[in-house]
A and B are shown apart, each in its own frame.
Chain A
Amino acid sequence: MAKNVGRIVGVNGNLLTVEFDQPVIQNEVAYAVTGKVKLKSEVIRIRGRYAEMQVFEDTTGLKVGDPVEFSGELLSVELGPGLLAQIYDGLQNPLPELAERLGFFLQRGNYLPALDRSKKWSFTPLVEKGAVVTAGEALGKVPESIFDHYIMVPFSFPGRYTVESVAPPGDYTVEHEIAVLKDEHGHEHKVSMLQRWPVKRPIRAYAERLRPSEPLVTKIRIIDTLFPVARGGTYCIPGPFGAGKTVLQQITSRHAEIDIVVIAACGERAGEVVETLREFPELTDPRTGRSLMERTLIICNTSSMPVAAREASVYTAVTVAEYYRQMGRDVLLLADSTSRWAQALREVSGRLEEIPGEEAFPAYLESVIAAFYERGGVVRLKNGEHGSVTIGGTVSPAGGNFDEPVTQSTLKVVGAFHGLSRERSDARRYPAIHPLESWSKYTGVADPELVERARRVLRRGNEVYQMMKVVGEEGTPLEDFLVHLKAEYLDAVYLQQDAFDEVDGATSAERQQYVFRKIVKILETNMTFKDRDAARSFFHGLTQTTKDWNRAPMESEDFKQIEQKIEKMVAEVTSYV
């Protein structure tokens, strides 16, 4: 096949205009050649004989007339065993290997295979000659860190195939042929453990999509109880800088009850990724007893890495997440921050001189965001098992104002909204999720009826607090003042959580149910005090004790004793009408 080569006629930042003669494909990958260096890029618009391409690298040195080699392939990722515990850039280059070869800097034009070609995996066939299979069905399996990694019929294979041969149990590399499949027309296709998939196309090799119904336990109380996330659901965390978006995602990536976590560090600080990648190998996953890194995969395209690859990175991440979902895994994708990805879109759109929408974001921003979150979901696989991709994205709104296009477009499509508030983070009320403005459409771990009652206390407490700012404490009736104190109590001992305390940092679903019931009961207890100071003093003590309770392991003797102490304290002020 003759190479399809075009030539550069324009360079504007990372946008090239390329003249071509032979057919090109929208979203096709091409390489702009300058000297010995080939720069990966993607066709993003075609007009007449000209293709416009975004380059995933710095374009310094490109000239008009330089050749551009079209690959005929869409921007794709490699899928196969060996993805877990990896650290990739947005285009799936393994960063540690790049560092080994190139040293400190990410020199452009260097691309390495995502999966190790020499590593051998211990393969066990799961089908026999003559079996009939379709895309996504398992042909065999290999052990990968904590799981069986299924080797599946490539998702791109349409129709039904008959297994002609399958490799016997043994150790093979990812490119080794492990099966030959015959299609309905009698053509034979060789299959290895490695397949490619274009990142912008959702993987759909499953039986059906289901409604997310089971809660994904994050062990963060305000989330699981008040604003739950469902397995296969989607949620967003908008918040001004410094409000705690990244910390929230970091603790979720540690504690969430999920099989695999894919972290997409998209256009934010490199230092934050460094913390994860240096610390996770040292931390133990309580669910498996193995290192946390073994269930984690990092796609890292931080703020100073090329902008176009930033856009690719969220797609790379979600494609890998979908891949593991096809094996029946529950996968959580955490993207920090989706605003940076939206800004990457805006930069390109600006260079393409498209008609801008609000704040110069492209008019299609909303549909792009919607399509991305649509890739979350629970599916029933062809073998009857379920798998899911849950997507949580942070949003970094300009000026901390949620009234902006990215936040608003995201809110339209996600199932839960965890809005971080500057006042709460300033007051060190972590996690700074706003208890009145946030929402979730999913069902959490606690009894919904109790949750509603707790919400009522929060709302009333806030009303009193607002009033108190005007009339002062002296002008507030004791009864109202009590509502305020109760709301503050709920906030302090349940909504706030010491992320780094061994016990308080992660609260199991069972414990949340137990404790929440107790606390709502306290909130609904009628109490008598002689004056406001006495009431405040009581709640101070109660808060203190309840926090101690939060720090006691549930199965410990302490837990029981403190619980009794709380009951006794409450009984002493209870008014029996």
Chain B
Amino acid sequence: MYKVYHRIEQIAGNVITVNAAGVSYRELAEVTSAEGVSLAQVIRLEGKRVFLQVFAGSRGIGTDARVRFLGHPMQTSFSEALLGRVFTGSGRPRDNGPAIEENMVDIGGPSVNPAKRIIPRNMVRTGIPMIDVFNTLVESQKLPIFSVAGEPYNQVLARIALQAEVDVIILGGMGLKFDDYLFFRDTLEEAGALSRAVLFIHTAADPTVECLLVPDIALAVAEQFALNDKRVLVLLTDMTNFADALKEIAITMEQIPSNRGYPGDLYSQLAARYEKAVDFDTAGSITILAVTTMPGDDVTHPVPDNTGYITEGQFYLRNGRIEPFGSLSRLKQLVNKRTREDHRTIMNTMIQLYAGFKETLEKQSMGFRMSAWDNKLLKYGEMFERELMDLGVNIPLEEALDRGWRILADCFEPAETGMPSDLLEKFWPREARPQDAGEEGGEPPAGEAEAAEQPQKSENDSEKEQEKASQE
């Protein structure tokens, strides 16, 4: 029923041009060539000329390829039948299962009316103390993991997905290594979570253009589940690959790059996806956890930089740990007042002391004299890293808080922590005394500790302010 066009006027990058009439902007077409059939999408109209971005890439497309317009924009099916299945970025099955074509919905739909959003209120438990205690993840939050290549970010994603109490998990893989795809699939399967998951996978070997479709298709499906009262967790890895695919198209289309080759609308493009995270007034929610690898470990690189401006915080993954500094959950204060009364105090106190530890490390490396207080901090920092920061630690929030108290009690006198006395009264472990006091430096005499402790205390003040701030 749709007219077929036979003459390709121009092929550049993954964009082909045909002369055609009656074609609408963003319409889909089927391009048939010796390479097979690929979907393509209209990305510009110029008089008779129609520019199409070919999902499978332009390699092997002849000037006599056939183009058939389909009369609708990119769509995806939405039904329960998607659960447990794996698809490509353009929605084709990649698991030998049947194609699903019922109940098609447009992808990349309009944004949610801000008046229909509510203030998020539920914590998402992950079992990772660096998240649960220090940068609590909140239902409907959009949050990336900033990471250097080589860090176990996909493992972290998978772990959170399995631990989180959500109804549906949607994985959008972009430029994923095939092994990583299998890792996700097998991990979900082993945990029995595959049946409540949908996977949209673009691997590094697949055509670039399909990479661009992954977030939209994943989020369109997520949105439908959320509208059906489901709590959905969307995992997107790696958004830097998505941004790079955008860059590639922009360059093909001869757009003027704004920053290191990325198009000027990178911010809007990323925001259009991340802002799909939502807690609906009277329906379900979408939480987005993404990975943004930082080229050259540079947080000012356009991709992490633009992302940071859009998302509600970020987790820094470095040396196999989620760093307390730089990591931020902008929504944590919405939930951590209702977890346990000592949550905020533990969060602030331990981070402030850890900051003191870092300063001490610096002083140590410069050869300055270590005071008794410095030695306490050194011990504390080591315990903190081993018992709470290590990603191998997998304990519920409450246990992590208890562990926090024990570490503090092992290293400090109650007053040295600057915590409010009512909490100390209630939570400070009574019998706790340092077990390993004989270690390097040993216990400093109390007097010396007190003098050296002063700067620490003043830091604790700003903490208390912080804490108070968060309590509003």
Contacts and interface: CB of A to CB of B under 8 A. Distances in A.
A106 B111 contact: yes
A566 interface: no
Contact of A274 (B119, B271, B301): B119
B308 A340 contact: no
Interface string B77-119: 0000000000000000000000000000010011111111111
A242 B308 contact: yes
Interface in A297-321: 300, 302-305, 307
B441 interface: no
Nearest to A104: B116
B368 A474 contact: yes
Interface string A400-443: 11000000000000000000000000111110000000000000
Interface in A2-22: 8-13, 17
B64 interface: no
Interface residues of B, number: 79
A14 to B, nearest CB: 10
A61 B313 contact: no
Contact of A498 (B259, B306, B328, B469): B469
A99 B113 contact: yes
Given A108-B110, A500-B472, A9 B24 contact: no
A359 interface: yes
B114 A302 contact: yes
B114 A270 contact: yes
Interface centre among B227, B326, B330, B331 (most CB of A within 10 A): B330
B310 A105 contact: no
Contacts of A103: 113, 116
Interface in A106-161: 106-108
A296 B457 CA distance: 40
B363 A472 contact: yes
A63 B257 contact: no
A58 B110 contact: yes
Contact of A500 (B114, B117, B272, B468): B468
Nearest to B73: A60
B256 A350 contact: yes
Contacts of B368: 472-474
Given A104-B116, A242-B313, A360-B258, A540 B457 contact: yes
B12 interface: no
Nearest to B457: A540
B252 interface: no
Interface in B9-32: 21-27
B23 to A, nearest CB: 7
Contacts of A63: 22-25, 45
B451 interface: yes
B2 interface: no
A182 interface: no
B35 interface: no
A98 interface: yes
A106 B47 CA distance: 30
Interface string A266-301: 011111011101100000000000000000000010
Nearest to A346: B264
Q: Point out which of A17, A274, A353, A401 has the most chain B C-beta atoms below 10 A from its C-beta.
A: A274
B265 interface: yes
A59 interface: yes
B319 interface: no
B24 A61 contact: yes
Nearest to B257: A360
Contacts of A556: none
B26 A60 contact: yes
Contact of A356 (B256, B328, B366, B465): B256
A303 B462 contact: no
A555 interface: no
B259 A398 contact: yes
Contact of B265 (A12, A64, A307): A307
Contacts of B454: 533, 536-537, 540
A547 interface: yes
Contacts of B276: 304
Nearest to B263: A350
A25 interface: no
- Most-contacted residue by chain B among A17, A343, A426 (CB, 10 A): A343
Interface string A473-489: 11000000000000010
A496 interface: yes
B283 to A, nearest CB: 8
Interface string B299-312: 01110011011101
B461 A492 contact: yes
Contacts of A499: 469
Contacts of A106: 110-113
Main secondary structure of the interface of B (DSSP, over half): mixed
B275 A304 contact: yes
Interface string A201-243: 0000000000000000000000000000000000000001110
Interface in B246-289: 255-259, 263-265, 267-268, 271-272, 275-276, 280-281, 283
Contacts of B363: 472
A343 B461 contact: no
Given A104-B227, A537-B451, A95 B256 contact: no
A46 interface: no
B71 to A, nearest CB: 10
Contacts of A340: 267
A377 to B, nearest CB: 30
B259 A359 contact: yes
Contacts of A473: 368
B462 A533 contact: no
Interface string A72-102: 0000000000000001000000011011001
A244 B85 CA distance: 42
A562 to B, nearest CB: 15
Contacts of B44: 10-13
Nearest to A9: B47
Contacts of B267: 267, 303, 340, 343
A399 B268 contact: no
A64 B45 contact: yes
A535 B73 CA distance: 71
A62 interface: yes
Interface in A252-269: 267-269
Contact of A544 (B119, B366, B461, B469): B461
B24 A62 contact: yes
A356 B258 CA distance: 9
A501 B466 CA distance: 10
A507 interface: no
Nearest to A8: B45
B115 A95 contact: yes
A10 B46 contact: yes
B275 to A, nearest CB: 4
A388 interface: no
Contacts of A307: 265, 268
B115 A492 contact: no
Contacts of A62: 24-25, 45
B112 A398 contact: no
B471 A500 contact: yes
B310 A269 contact: yes
16 contacts: A8-B45, A34-B24, A60-B25, A60-B26, A242-B308, A242-B328, A270-B111, A271-B312, A274-B118, A360-B258, A472-B366, A474-B368, A492-B462, A501-B469, A533-B452, A540-B454
Q: Which 3 A-B pairs have the closest CB atoms?
A: A399-B300, A303-B271, A304-B275
Given A11-B44, A98-B115, A428-B462, 18 more contacts: A34-B24, A60-B25, A61-B24, A102-B113, A104-B280, A105-B110, A105-B112, A241-B309, A267-B271, A270-B117, A271-B119, A302-B114, A303-B268, A303-B310, A304-B276, A350-B264, A496-B465, A501-B469
